[in-house]
Chains A and B, each alone.
Chain A
Amino acid sequence: MAEQTQGAVPLSAVIADAATGVALALQGGGDPYALSRILRQGDPLAPAAVRVLGADALAPYALEHRAVPVGADDEAVVRQTLAAFPPGADASDVSAWSYRGLVEATHAYLPSHARPWPRPPETGAEWTAADPWPRLAHRVSQLAALALPGLAADLEEQLTSRTDDLARGFVRAVRRRDWLQAAGVGRWLARLPDVPPTLGLDAGLAFVRQMGGGDPRVALHVVAAQRFFGRGW
């Protein structure tokens, strides 16, 4: 990622600000959503922040904002991101999937009349069957942004058979006070059917938000679980 120059805002702060903006938009607060508005204009770190947030950068467009025309600025920053950070040949599965999530989100939420969006890259999914549950839960939490309506439908289908294992990962993450992982796994569980009732997912998401909501990305995942899948409070 970009070198931090003296006096500049660190990337983590840019990501945190953007995550806060997305979460606020998902909760229905503030002005109509525009990705370019939650990023500092001309910030050289903006594409990196969008790459980290992945599909979540466009999540508010999955709501009722379809009618609002997407600004050229939004389209520009997304195109810049996709061009700057494509997964390389040796990219991890998480990197490839999160990139694919952002591409899928552009197709789903940002209809482009001028120029077509790139095609989603090929992504391997062997790990969804092969990973032991702790590693599976960790990876899935890193792909929390893909837990959006209509995105990564094949991943959703594969994970449906590992619901118990993901629930175990949620338990482990909460007990470790790893709130970001817990929120990410919990958000995926919110999307999946047949979550074990004894898990207490709704209370669990609320608990994670209370305990770890100081991290805007934790708050974002919990808000997304609530807004899109009606779980947690």
Chain B
Amino acid sequence: MTAGRGDPDLLDRIVGGSLGWLTAMRDFFRLPPDTTTDADPNLTLKPLGELAELTQLIASSHPCAEFRDAAGRLFAFAWRETRAGALFAELIRGEPYATYPVEIYGVFAQAGLRHPAVEELVLTTTGLRGWRVAREDHTRTLGVLNAERRIGLAQHADFDTAFARTGLGLLPEPWALDRKAAYGLTHDVFHLTDWGRNRRRLAPEAAGYLRLWLPSWLENWQEEQLWDLVGELLAVAACLPAAPYDAAAWQRLAAAQAADGSVPETGAAPRPTDPAEAFLACYHSTLVTAFAGTLARIASDEAEPYAGPLVAGQTAVAGPTPYESEAAL
């Protein structure tokens, strides 16, 4: 992996393709009428929450206006699907102790999209002693803490203490990492850095650890053609100071992207012919690819701040750049 500008043209092709497919498949993200009752949240709210999380970042931070616009439209669509937040009030009344409605609401709240009933509800539910009971794992705790921070709620636990117990916080032997642990580790980085918005929160020790071992993991999971995890690892690489750029990994991910812009979760299984099944097999990895490509593109611009390429027909519109300059470290 090398630092530097990477390949902005390739990154733009990848992100453009991903956003194009996500836009074309937008209706598959629609919530069914039984969302708050019988529907499986893993097939309804989880995809919509992920769409919101990742398109919000792209909409607010990608250097190219056309990608910001496309992502912004998807983000607005996701908010409409929640009926401008009213859905979260229903979800919380139905499951007052569940964390996922609060976590997904946090995505919108951070962008300034709030709902008064939800604001009142979460003050009560997240203030309970029961809210502080340990979650399934420490990575999840970071996610809840990040949501609390986004909404402006009191933190139910100390962030640094929770982080120290996560997979990344413990700096595990890099060879003793299975797929689940690898996903945990990427999410430790995402929650810690607020999905790449605040990369300075990554301490030098953790950053050095990731810089050292990411090449091995990328190689391993490329061999297994697990493009979803490859995308997440590339996003993590883009969160590091002077983001290392793994040209070979990006090229292989680009090669895994289908002509329609979708990226399959795994290259080891045949692509389903049924559109709904194809959506489930591709939506997450395609979102992750767009997200990783955006972070890498931002890092690429930072590596050479005076030669930012302009998209045809676009004047020097600087997108909002909530990112800390690496030079300030």
A interface vs B, CB < 8 Å?
A: 133-134, 164, 167-172, 174-176, 182, 196, 198-200, 203-204, 207
Say whether B209 contacts A171, CB under 8 Å.
no
Q: Is B117 interfacial (CB 8 A cutoff)?
A: no
**Nearest chain A CB to B173 CB, angstrom units:** 4
Question: When the two chains form their complex, are residues B175 and A164 in contact, meaning their CB atoms are under 8 A apart?
Answer: no
Q: Chain A contacts of B223 at CB under 8 A?
A: 176
Contact B220 A168 (CB under 8 A): no
Kindly specify which of B211-219, B274-282, B284-292, B295-303 makes contact with the partner chain. Answer: B211-219
**Which chain A residue has the least Cβ–Cβ distance from B212?**
A196
Question: CB distance A172 to B212 under 8 Å?
Answer: no
On whether the beta carbons of A199 and B215 are closer than 8 Å, the reply is no
Q: Taking the complex as formed, is B176 at the interface, i.e. its CB lies under 8 A from any CB of chain A?
A: yes
Q: Give CA–CA (A171, B173) in the complex, Å.
A: 9
Contact A168 B173, CB 8 Å, known A175-B220, A176-B220, A198-B209: no
Bound-state CA distance A203–B176 (Å) is 10
B118 to chain A, nearest CB (A): 42
B177 at interface by CB-CB < 8 Å: yes
Q: Are B216 and A198 in contact (CB under 8 A)?
A: no
Q: Once bound together, how far apart are the Cα atoms of A176 and B212, in whole Å?
A: 18
Mark out the residues of chain B between 175 and 214 whose CB falls within 8 Å of any chain A CB in the assembled complex. 175-177, 209, 212-213
Known: A164-B212, A196-B212. A203 touches B173 (CB 8 A): yes
Q: Is the CB of A133 within 8 A of B215?
A: yes
Report chain B residues within 8 Å CB of A196.
Answer: 212
Q: Judging by beta carbons under 8 Å apart, are B212 and A175 in contact? A: no
Contact pick for A198, options B171, B217, B220, CB 8 Å: B171
Bound together, the chains give a CA A72 to CA B255 distance in angstroms of 61
B174 close to A (CB within 8 Å): yes
B176: min CB distance to chain A, Å: 7
What residues of chain A lie closer than 8 Å to B219, measured between beta carbons? Answer: 134, 168, 172
Chain B residues with Cβ below 8 Å from A133 are 215
A-B contacts, 17 listed (Cβ < 8 Å): A171-B175, A171-B213, A171-B216, A171-B217, A172-B220, A174-B176, A175-B175, A175-B177, A175-B216, A175-B220, A176-B220, A198-B173, A198-B212, A198-B213, A200-B175, A203-B173, A207-B175
Knowing A175-B220, A176-B220, A198-B171, say if A207 contacts B176 (CB, 8 Å): yes
Cα A59 to Cα B172 with chains together (Å) = 34
CA A175 to CA B173, docked complex, whole Å: 11
The 10 residue pairs across chains A and B that have the minimum distance between CB atoms: A174-B175, A200-B173, A171-B216, A168-B216, A171-B175, A171-B174, A175-B220, A172-B216, A198-B171, A198-B209
Known contacts: A175-B220, A176-B220. The answer to whether A170 contacts B212 by CB under 8 A is no
Q: How large is the interface on B (under 10, 10 to 19, 20 to 34, 35 or more residues)?
A: 10 to 19
Residue pair A204, B213 in contact (C-beta under 8 Å): no
State whether A170 touches B209 (Cβ < 8 A): no
Is the pair A199, B173 in contact by a Cβ cutoff of 8 Å?
yes
7 other contacts beyond A175-B217, A198-B174, A198-B212, with CB at 8 A cut-off? A164-B212, A168-B213, A171-B213, A172-B216, A196-B212, A198-B173, A200-B176
- Please report the C-alpha to C-alpha distance between residue A200 and residue B174 in the assembled complex, in whole angstroms: 8
Identify which of residues 155-177 in chain B touch chain A, using a CB-to-CB cut-off of 8 Å: 171, 173-177
Chain B contacts of A134 at CB under 8 A? 219
> What residues on A are CB-neighbors of B209 within 8 Å?
198
Residues in B neighbouring A198, C-beta threshold 8 A: 171, 173-174, 209, 212-213
Q: A169 to B216, alpha carbons, bound, how many Å?
A: 7
Given contacts A198-B171, A198-B209, is CB(A168)–CB(B177) below 8 Å?
Answer: no
Of all chain A residues, which has the CB nearest B248?
A132
Question: In the complex, which residues of chain B have a beta carbon less than 8 angstroms from the beta carbon of A176?
Answer: 220, 223
With CB as the reference atom, state the residue of chain B lying closest to A204.
B175
**What A residues does B216 contact at CB under 8 A?**
168-169, 171-172, 175
Tell me which residues across on chain A come within 8 A of B217, comparing CB atoms. 171, 175
Bound-state Cα–Cα, A204 to B176, Å: 9
Q: How far is it, in angstroms, between the C-alpha of A199 and the C-alpha of B213 when the chains are bound?
A: 9
Note all chain A residues with C-beta closer than 8 A to B175.
Answer: 170-171, 174-175, 182, 199-200, 204, 207
- CB <8 Å contact, B173 and A204: yes
B176 cross-chain contacts in A, Cβ below 8 A: 174, 200, 207
Whether A199 contacts B174 in the complex (CB less than 8 A), given A133-B215, A164-B212, A171-B213, comes out as yes
Within the complex, what minimum Cβ distance (angstroms) separates A30 from chain B? 32
State how many angstroms separate the Cβ of B212 from the closest Cβ of chain A. 6
Q: CA separation between A168 and B215, bound complex, in Å?
A: 7
CA distance A229 to B215 in the complex (A): 27
When C-beta atoms are compared, the residue in chain A nearest to B182 turns out to be A175
Inter-chain contacts of B177 with A (CB < 8 A):
175
Give A163 to B176 CA distance when docked, in angstroms.
19
Name the residue of chain A whose CB is nearest to the CB of B171.
A198
- The interface residues of chain B lying within 8 Å CB-to-CB of A172 are 216, 219-220
CA distance A175 to B178 in the complex (A): 8
Q: How far is the CB of B195 from chain A (nearest CB, A)?
A: 25
Task: Output the least CB separation between A86 and chain B (Å).
Answer: 35
